[in-house]
Every structure is written in structure tokens, then in C-alpha cells.
Structure 1
Amino acid sequence: MNRPSILTGALWGGLLSVPLMALFFIGQQIARFPFVPFDMFDWLARALPGPVITFGIDTMVDVITTFQLGRLDEAAKTAEQFMALGITFIIGVIAGGLFFFIMNRLPGERQRRDSLPGVIMGAIVGLPFLLFSLAVNLEAAGQPLVSAVWVLGLYMLWGLTVSWLYSALAFRVQPAAAESAAAGEAGTAASVQTLNRRQFMIQVGGATATVTVVGVGLGALLSQGDEATTTARADGAALPPDGLPNANDPLVPAPGTRPEYTPLEDHYRIDIRTTPLEIAEEGYTLPIAHTNAEGDTEILAELTLDQIRNDFESMDAFITMSCISNRIGGPLISTTRWTGVSMQDILDSIDVPPTATHLRINGGDGFDETVALEDIANDRRIMLTHAWDGIPLLPKHGFPLRIHIPDLYGMKQPKWITAMRFLDQDEDGYWVRRGWDKVARVKATSVIDTVAVDMMVIDADENQRIPVGGIAWAGDRGISRVEVRVNDGEWQEAQLRAPISDRTWTIWRYDWPFEEGMHTFEVRCFEADGTEQIAAVASPRPDGASGIHSTRVNL
């Protein structure tokens, strides 16, 4: 009998985790079974302390921006997914090595040949993954028995395979360097034994690779249907028939300025899930309940999506939204058309408890936030949103419902809404509990999108000028002035294009008199009441970034 090393067990534990994840992927695509690596990562993101999560976010952003790994929000989600797969692989490595270590120390040969220890090991490793899925995955929580059979079944199969490999290496495959008395015969024997082990490893490795490739390929093929549906819905999105409200403004944005209206597929996405949550429209209802001081809960209303869309006055608004974690000049800001109903109308249709002061909004992703009933009563613009850009919300943007609260960062505005509850006192929301600002009011910001060095213009006096342009935004407080400074000189006022609405960013343009050399451009903005944006540099945590955006250009 041989005693396979712990490293061998670790190797096979990790390698066998790869086809295991492929099988989980197939199940997720075919039947919406839990994909446990992502559920595990989502659970960790909720369970870890706020400072740890913030450090991880900052590190990820630094790496993505330093090495220019792509669009920030998409690259960050890809990084999260790879981390989830990597953690699952490492768990397999540790479990495989530990299993071989324990098996090598069992007293009898019969026990070492038995497959039961592997099955038990698989169940032990799989149980936490099952609990992760039940905690964060709506579909898994909705069918816990099916999820348990699926997750534990696959992990027990994984453990059984690890156990079979141990038995094969220990009792049926000879080591490469067996002892022999006769040099010539021993050399021949050793050569045969080495070939047998090599063949065994190649066969098992080949089978593992085959399962992985087939699993991933089949899962990807099955997922194309969902992607095609999403793409078709996005393709149906369009600007209003008459164009944007400011279409007749004479100011032309500087070449290279971002689109004034963000294409739906380019709208930023930041949330606490590795993949978008998909909630079925069929059977969806929005329960609105009340929990009193004694902890008793009463369902006051249950609204279907059709009722929300058709039984209340519809409202549309062009809105810019930004993530509180967006850095100065960062890409986590977008503008699109929101369609929904006023929360005032929703509450008017319900007997609001007289003791209630706040409304807690829960998302299916585990996110929650509260809004004061006084704020809703004073602002008809607070909107329960069901469509963006003229079509129902896409899954990645929060289908079936999300809320809009003017002048606040996105961290205060849950999506994938599944429940609302009246409270008799305020509560901290998801990110507030993790150390972010309670109010999260938007800070005024201005950004240089372009110094159009290849688009020089000649003014009436035949002076050469370089178009410089970008955006300025201050929530719903408006922009009255934008100024540009070059090489620490005097601030010069830029031209402003009329904003699409009082809640969108403002496009600005400054035609700079051309001079050769290296130049530093800076921009600042002023709110409608004349308040200057905050120049002091501050990181996004806890209440949003501040500072002057600048760029250096060699002309």
C-alpha cells in the first residue's frame, strides 16, 4: 500500500473543484439552481465588516484603473466573479489535502478503501455552501429542499471522486520509484510502474478537463437565450419621439465629450451581487407591511406590477445618478429616462399607520434602505420606478422595481425591490451600517472629458482654439457656472448647454486659445445658488469624493 501525499490530495481536491463548478454552472443555466461560488462570495460581501469591504473595493479600483483593465463597473464585477471561483478552488485544495492527511492515518486498510469518508467529507464541505445560497439566493430560499439535494448531492459526488482517487493511488497504482533488488529488472519494472501512474493521472486529468469544457460550453450555450432576450429589450429602448428636451440648444459639445444621454447598455451598474438578480414577473407582488413597536407585522397591501404600471398616474423624468464610491472624474455616473409612479400616490392608496415615520425598502439582493415619510410627503418626485429608457427595467438595472430619491447618491436607492415596510422609527440602511454616510447627499462635481487636440477651431479673429469639454452636476440643485483654469492661471468661464432636465448633468465647453507645450487643465463648477463645489480633496468614503478634476496634455 502507498500513502499519497497531502500535496497530491490538495492538487486533486482543487482540480476536481473545476468540473464541479462547471456542473453547478449547468444547473444554474438549466434550472436556476444555485451557483454556489457566487452565492458564497455574495454572503461574504454582506458578512465582512464595512472597513474590510471598503479596503477591498479601493484596492480593486486601484488595480483596474492603474492597469486599465476595462470599464470600471464591468471589470469590477468580473474580478469579483474570478475571486469567487478562486476561493471555491482554494477550499477544494484545502479539503482535498486534509482528506488525504486523515485517510493516511486511519488504522485499517478496509477503512482506507471505503468511499463513505469521501461522501461525508463532501457533505461537510457542501453544507456551508448550501447555507450561503439559502441566505442570499432568492430562488434557492424559495425551494430549499431542491437546493439542498442539488448542492449537497454534487459535493458528495465530488467527495466520492476524491475518495476514489485516494483509494486508486493508495492500492491500485504503483509508485514511480519502487524498490527492487535487481538493477536491470528493477529498471524495467520501475519504467512500467511509472507509465501506469502517468497514464492514470492523464486519464483522470483528461476526464476532469472534458467535464469542465463540456459543462462550461453547455452552460454558456444555454445562457445565450437569456442574453438574447436582454439584448432585444435593450435594443427596444429609444429616446423620446421628439428627441431630448434641450435638442434645440445651440451649444455643440466639445468633440470627445461623453454622450449627453447614456445608452442603456452603458449605464453604470454597482450593487452587492456578483451577477444581476433575476426576478420573474409572473407572480410578482410588492407587499407593503407595518411593524409596530411590539414587533407585530401586518400586511397592508400587495401590489402587482400591472397595478403599479396601470393604476397610478405615470411620470417620466430625465435623471443623472452617481455612485457614492465614484472618484473625482470617475465613470460611475450616468443619465437616462426614468418612468414610474410617485410614492405619494402609492401611499395615498394605503392606510398608512399613524405611528409610522419611515418606510424601509428591501431589495431581493439583501440590500435595504429607509426613507422618511415626511420626505415623501414633501417631494412628489420620489418615484417607484419600473422602466428605464422606455422599456421595463433590465435585470441588471433592478427589475422589477427600483426607487429614485432626488439629490441622493445611488447607495440610498434600492433596486430589485421585493418588499416595503412602515417603521415607527428610523433605521440605518445597508451601507450606513457599514460606515457610509447617513444622508448621502450628492456633492457638486465637474469633469473634463476631452481636450480635443485634433479638432482645432479658428475663431472670428483667426485665433486657433482647442475645444475643451465635459460635464458638471450637483444633483437637483442645478449648475449656474463652470470655470476652467490652465497652468494655474486665471479661472475662465465656460459655455453651458441647457441640461436635459433639472436633475441631469450639464454639458460645458471652453474653447481654449492654443499654445504649444505641456498644459494642465482644471475645472470647477458652481451650483444654481452660487455655491462653489468643494475644492478640498476627500476620498469617497464616507460621504462621497470631492476635489478639483484636472488633466495634463502635451500639445
Structure 2
Amino acid sequence: MEQIDQAHSKPRILTGALVGGLVMAPLMALLYLGDVFAGLPFLPFDLFDWISRTLPGPLITFGIDTMVDLIRALNIGELDETAKLAEQTIGLTTFLILGIIAGMILFAILRRRPQPTNVITGVIFGIVLVVPLLAISSLVNTTATASPIVGFIWSIVLFAGFGATINWVYNVLAAERAASPVVDTPAQASASALDRRQFLVRVGGASATLTVIGAGLGSFLSGGLAGLGSSGSSVPAFDPEEEILTGAGQPLPNADAAVTPAPGTRREYTPVEDHYRIDIASRPPVIEEESYTLPIHGLVENEVAWTLDEIRAMPSVEAFITMSCISNRVGGSLISTTKWTGVPMQHILEQVGPLPEAGALYIMGADGFDEYVDLELIREDERIILAYAFDDAPLPQQNGFPLRIHIPNHYGMKQPKWITDIEVVEQAGEGYWVRRGWSPTAIVKATSVIDTVAADAVYEQDGQSFVPIGGIAWAGDRTITKVEVSVDDGEWQEALLREPMSKRAWTIWRYDWPFQAGNHTFTVRCTEEDGDLQIMDEQPVRPDGATGLHSVSETLNQPA
């Protein structure tokens, strides 16, 4: 009976879950503060990145598809930005759950011990908990700029405090239970429980205060929450009054094109800050230019380790290029166009001299992404470049600084960013996404999209009202020769094509439809230079990229 009374006098394990969560919240805020203020590792994102790279490919793909479906169904923002924010939220939630589980385990351990008088057990528990997290961080972290020793000490201190705090709360609750008189009435039991609840409420209040202060100060020091997500905004529409210039102040190569985009069509030249971004890390890697070198080694005559300045001094080429993600749905937003600058990969090969038995480049990114590129493909295509600039400026951090590769006519999944190492190997293998069940070739599929049915821009000509309809069409490096629009499943009508900025840039199209009031469905399709019509059968994005026709339904009212 005495053992039963002692067991009942000790705090419950479920109370440990509550305490673990309450203590983990301010711990994450302090980790974020250290990340922003001192470049220390942010363990919640490191844990999430490690989990996402370790889980089986089909499970990761299922998670991605589910997340994209929810974002599209709820219409809660730009897909790349919202998806990245969702990933980060999952990472924070996972870490909070870790704290809840840790609190339960520590309470279970403490319940098996005599009445505690210190917090040594909690300190040891916290240190044991953080050691594997630090090991994981050392494998995947790409954002910490502080000394690893400082990061190690910082994390040890915080988690020792995490365990000590949970231990202290347990001690207080256990002491209150032990000091409580034997209860004979429901009123006495209720009063005793109320005292414990009031203490836990105070713990919760302190947790909330520390969390808000830590996260708020970290946000202030970083100039906002941009460090926790993509900072882009919705891509602006084409403005006929705006003169679009490149970063060097030059007009676009098709500035005098005859066809004017329909009102509401996306901007032909994507602002760099709005360029889509899909990658495998919670946050883009931080690479310091001053200490950066690119090693190229393996089956070569001349191993090199070039600085970024040395690469920028090499012969370079510029091109206006449209890039799309293989996971872009039909009509999706994961596609952008800007000006790229870089060194031809053929020149790179000339400098290092691949040996006769060499067959491929194995390219590694700082984010843990890897891919192979056949040497034969590089020798056949002079347009493949090692890019270092977007829109006449160094690559932004979130878009792959300092270097990324461009391979025409391929989706982005085959083109590493944040390149830190190139090894010349005997033959190509399977890259990051190929190992997870995606296309081994990732060749771009033709697509056409309706951006706008400009119901507010109806105009009259020769007694007939017209509504402008417009959008984009793209087929990698294959020229778009025809775009057609069908209204309410009627006959296909050919649209006007605006001269593209380059052969590798999307084509803006426009069709002025004779106005008819009512509910209408507009569908678009395109044809490539060899006469091939875009694939009309619907296929999902996995494994080879989405196919099918894009349609938009609009209700048109008789203009006043």
C-alpha cells in the first residue's frame, strides 16, 4: 500500500509531455536567436533535412504531392514560397514533438528514483539528447557560420538547461505532492490539484514569454522573418507602360516585338527575387565567397581548385533562359525566365583535360544534392554553362550562389545549385532525385498556359467587341511555332505569337476572342518546331513531368 501511495504521489508521465513541450518552445526560440545573431546551427531544420533525405523516395514523393495538393486546394500563396514555409513548419513541429517525448521519458526516469533533490539527472539527459542531434547537424547543416566548437558548446548548454528545467519542474511537483496532507474529501483533493495546475500555468506563462522574446528578438536582428522562408512575392503582370531593362540597364532583345501581351499576362522577364525556387534544404546554404574554391578532380590530367574570381575571368556567355521544375503541375507557377551568365562547360573540360576513360561529371551541391552529367552531352552542346550570374548580378543565395549548372532542354531536377565539388568519373550513375524514383532524363515537355482572360479589357473594333486572352508556351530549347485556343470545346483558333527573347525562353501568345457574354471555358495547346503537338493526355508530374491541356473558366458580362 505504501508503494502505491508513493507512486500516486509522483507527477504523472503525461504531465511530463506537457512540461517537455512548454520547455522546448523557448529552447527553439533561443536556438533561432543564436542562428540569427551568431550564425549558430538551428537544430530543428537540421533534423528535418536529415529526416527528409533519409526517408524512402516514394514516401517523400507522397509527402510532396500531398503538400502541393493542399496548397493548391486552399489557394494559400505562391507554391514555392508556401511549400518551403510548410516544410519549415513541419520541422519546427517535429522538434516540438521531440520535446514532448523527451519530457515524458525524463519524467518516467525520475519517477523510478527516490525523492530528487537536484537536477543532475536532467542535465545528463539533456546532454545525451543533444549529442545525436549535433551529429545529424554536422552532416546536413549548410547555414551555420560560427565555429563548430562554439556551436557544440552552445547546443550542449541549451539542452543541459532543457533537461535541468524539466527536472526542476518535476522536483517542484513531486515536493508539492509529498507535502500535501492526506486528502479525505473531494474539496481537499481539488485544492491540491489546483495548486499544481497554478504552478504549471506559471511555467506555461514563463515559456510563452521566453519564446516570444527569443523569436521576436531574432526576427528583429534578421530584419524580419525572411530567414525562415522564401521572400518572393507574386510575379507582377505585364505592364505596357513599363520599359523592362536587364540588370545592366539594357532593353530586352525582343523589346520591339510586334505582338503586345494581353493585359494580365505574366511579366515576360521574371524579377530575380520572384524566380521560382525548389530545393531539398529547409534554407539555402550559406557559402562565403572569400573562402570558396571549386575543386575539379578525378579522371583528369589537371586537377584544379578555382576561386570564384578565377571562374568569372574565364570566357563567358549570356542567354535568356526559361527554367521549370519537373514537379510543376500543368498551369503551375514553378517556371521563370531571366538572363543567365556563365562559363561554357566545354571550356571547363578543355582546362582540366578528362582522361580517355572518363565518362561523366559527378556534381555535388552544398545542400547535399548530387547529379551526373555525361561528358558526351557537354561535348555535343556548347550551351551548357557553369552559371554565376542572374540578370547581370551574382547569383542570389537562394538561387544557388556561387555556382549552378544549366543544361538546356532539361528540368531543374538535373541541374545542381550551390556547387561545391565536381569529380570526373568513369560513368554516370543515379542522381539525388533519380534515386528517389524520378526521371533519369528529365527532358522538358511542351506546355502552354492561360494567364489571363482580360474581361476588364474588352475593346471594340469595327462594331465587334473582343476580349484579350493571353499566356505563355514553352518547350525547352524547341521553338514554339503555333498556339491555339478553343472556347467551350469548339474549334481551335490560332493565336498571335510574340517573338521570344531567345530560343530557350518562353513564348508569349495572345488571342483576341469575339466577345460573347456568359460562362465560358478556354483551353490552350501549342505546337513545336518539328510539328509535334504538345501531349494532350493528362499525366502526373511523377516521374517524367506533367502533361495535359490547361483550361480556365470565366464568366463574362456584357460590357457597359
With normalisation by structure 1, the TM-score equals 0.91
- How far apart, in 2, do the equivalents of 1:160 and 1:153 lie? 10
- How far apart, in 1, do the equivalents of 2:307 and 2:37 lie? 27
Q: 1:474-489 alignment to 2 at 5 Å? A: 474-489=475-490
Q: 1:388 to 1:370 in 2, by over 3 A?
A: same
Q: 1:71 to 1:190 in 2, by over 3 A?
A: closer
Superimposed CA distance per residue, residues 494-513 of structure 1 (whole angstroms, 9 cap, x where no aligned partner): 00000011100000000111
**Does residue 1:160 correspond to 2:164, yes or no?**
yes
- How far apart, in 2, do the equivalents of 1:92 and 1:226 lie? 23
Q: 1:115-264 alignment to 2 at 5 Å? A: 115-138=119-142, 143-172=147-176, 179-180=182-183, 191=191, 196-224=195-223, 238-264=246-272
Question: By how many angstroms is 1:442 displaced?
Answer: 0.2
- How far apart, in 2, do the equivalents of 1:353 and 1:217 lie? 56
- How far apart, in 1, do the equivalents of 2:121 and 2:47 lie? 24
Q: Which amino acid in structure 1 is aligned with residue 219 of structure 2?
A: A
Residue 235 of structure 2 aligns with which residue?
none
Q: 2:39·2:146 contact (CA, 8 Å) conserved in 1?
A: no
Residue 533 of structure 1 aligns with which residue?
534
Q: Which amino acid in structure 1 is aligned with residue 206 of structure 2?
A: A
Question: By how many angstroms is 1:31 displaced?
Answer: 1.9
Q: 1:227 to 1:201 in 2, by over 3 A?
A: closer
Q: In the alignment, which of 383, 397, 400 is matched to residue 398 of structure 1? A: 400
Residue 303 of structure 1 aligns with which residue?
306
Superimposed CA distance per residue, residues 183-204 of structure 1 (whole angstroms, 9 cap, x where no aligned partner): 7xx968975x566535533432
Question: By how many angstroms is 1:390 displaced?
Answer: 1.4
Which structure 2 residue ranges, 5 or more long, are not aligned?
Answer: 1-5, 232-244
Q: 1:134·1:141 contact (CA, 8 Å) conserved in 2?
A: no
Q: 1:133·1:141 contact (CA, 8 Å) conserved in 2?
A: no
Q: 1:23-34 alignment to 2 at 5 Å? A: 23-34=30-41
Residue 469 of structure 2 aligns with which residue?
468
Q: Which amino acid in structure 2 is aligned with residue 510 of structure 1?
A: Y
Residue 101 of structure 1 aligns with which residue?
108
Q: 2:385·2:407 contact (CA, 8 Å) conserved in 1?
A: yes
Q: Which amino acid in structure 1 is aligned with residue 410 of structure 2?
A: L
Q: 1:484·1:522 contact (CA, 8 Å) conserved in 2?
A: yes
Of 340-349 and 325-334, deviating more is: 340-349
DSSP 3-state at the match of 1:308: helix
Identical positions, percent: 54
Q: Which amino acid in structure 1 is aligned with residue 493 of structure 2?
A: Q
Residue 546 of structure 1 aligns with which residue?
547
Q: 2:487·2:521 contact (CA, 8 Å) conserved in 1?
A: yes
- How far apart, in 2, do the equivalents of 1:178 and 1:254 lie? 81
Question: By how many angstroms is 1:148 displaced?
Answer: 2.8
Superimposed CA distance per residue, residues 388-441 of structure 1 (whole angstroms, 9 cap, x where no aligned partner): 011111110111111111000000111011110000111111000100011000
Which structure 1 residue ranges, 5 or more long, are not aligned?
Answer: 232-236, 293-297
- How far apart, in 2, do the equivalents of 1:189 and 1:319 lie? 73
Superimposed CA distance per residue, residues 428-485 of structure 1 (whole angstroms, 9 cap, x where no aligned partner): 11000100011000000000111111111222x3211111110000000110000111
Residue 84 of structure 2 aligns with which residue?
77
- How far apart, in 1, do the equivalents of 2:24 and 2:154 lie? 15
- How far apart, in 1, do the equivalents of 2:188 and 2:181 lie? 11
Q: In the alignment, which of 419, 441, 464 is matched to residue 439 of structure 1? A: 441
Q: Which amino acid in structure 2 is aligned with residue 14 of structure 1?
A: G
- How far apart, in 1, do the equivalents of 2:278 and 2:183 lie? 64
DSSP 3-state at the match of 2:317: strand
Please, what is the CA RMSD of the aligned residues? 2.3
DSSP 3-state at the match of 2:457: coil
Q: Which amino acid in structure 1 is aligned with residue 137 of structure 2?
A: S
Superimposed CA distance per residue, residues 232-266 of structure 1 (whole angstroms, 9 cap, x where no aligned partner): xxxxx944433110010121101110000111111
Residue 423 of structure 2 aligns with which residue?
421
Q: Which amino acid in structure 1 is aligned with residue 368 of structure 2?
A: G
**Does residue 1:62 correspond to 2:69, yes or no?**
yes
Q: Which amino acid in structure 2 is aligned with residue 55 of structure 1?
A: F
**Does residue 1:342 correspond to 2:344, yes or no?**
yes
- How far apart, in 2, do the equivalents of 1:28 and 1:504 lie? 39
Residue 88 of structure 1 aligns with which residue?
95
Q: 1:190 to 1:464 in 2, by over 3 A?
A: closer
Q: In the alignment, which of 4, 12, 16 is matched to residue 23 of structure 2? A: 16
Q: 1:226 to 1:350 in 2, by over 3 A?
A: farther
Residue 44 of structure 1 aligns with which residue?
51
Q: 1:291 to 1:388 in 2, by over 3 A?
A: same
Q: 1:291 to 1:90 in 2, by over 3 A?
A: farther
Q: Which amino acid in structure 1 is aligned with residue 258 of structure 2?
A: P
Question: By how many angstroms is 1:352 displaced?
Answer: 2.0
Q: 1:496 to 1:78 in 2, by over 3 A?
A: same
Question: By how many angstroms is 1:103 displaced?
Answer: 1.8
Q: 1:134·1:140 contact (CA, 8 Å) conserved in 2?
A: no
- How far apart, in 1, do the equivalents of 2:182 and 2:431 lie? 68
Residue 282 of structure 2 aligns with which residue?
274
- How far apart, in 2, do the equivalents of 1:141 and 1:99 lie? 33
Q: 1:139 to 1:276 in 2, by over 3 A?
A: closer
Q: 1:324-403 alignment to 2 at 5 Å? A: 324-403=326-405
Q: Which amino acid in structure 1 is aligned with residue 204 of structure 2?
A: G
Question: By how many angstroms is 1:144 displaced?
Answer: 4.3
Q: Which amino acid in structure 1 is aligned with residue 262 of structure 2?
A: A
Q: 1:538 to 1:553 in 2, by over 3 A?
A: same
With normalisation by structure 2, the TM-score equals 0.91
Q: Which amino acid in structure 2 is aligned with residue 509 of structure 1?
A: R
Question: By how many angstroms is 1:554 displaced?
Answer: 1.6
Question: By how many angstroms is 1:115 displaced?
Answer: 1.9
Q: Which amino acid in structure 2 is aligned with residue 86 of structure 1?
A: T
- How far apart, in 2, do the equivalents of 1:334 and 1:16 lie? 43
Superimposed CA distance per residue, residues 65-101 of structure 1 (whole angstroms, 9 cap, x where no aligned partner): 1111111100001111111010111111111112212
Q: Which amino acid in structure 1 is aligned with residue 456 of structure 2?
A: D
Q: 2:374·2:427 contact (CA, 8 Å) conserved in 1?
A: no
Residue 35 of structure 1 aligns with which residue?
42
Aligned length: 534
- How far apart, in 1, do the equivalents of 2:20 and 2:449 lie? 50
Residue 234 of structure 2 aligns with which residue?
none
**Does residue 1:410 correspond to 2:412, yes or no?**
yes
Q: 2:402·2:418 contact (CA, 8 Å) conserved in 1?
A: yes
Question: By how many angstroms is 1:128 displaced?
Answer: 2.5
Q: 1:133·1:140 contact (CA, 8 Å) conserved in 2?
A: no
Question: By how many angstroms is 1:370 displaced?
Answer: 0.8
Q: 1:432 to 1:384 in 2, by over 3 A?
A: same
**Does residue 1:283 correspond to 2:252, yes or no?**
no
Question: By how many angstroms is 1:151 displaced?
Answer: 2.4
Q: 2:498·2:509 contact (CA, 8 Å) conserved in 1?
A: yes
Residue 236 of structure 2 aligns with which residue?
none
Residue 234 of structure 1 aligns with which residue?
none
Question: By how many angstroms is 1:339 displaced?
Answer: 1.1
Superimposed CA distance per residue, residues 265-309 of structure 1 (whole angstroms, 9 cap, x where no aligned partner): 1111100011111111111000111069xxxxx981000000011
Q: 2:299·2:355 contact (CA, 8 Å) conserved in 1?
A: no
- How far apart, in 1, do the equivalents of 2:359 and 2:264 lie? 47
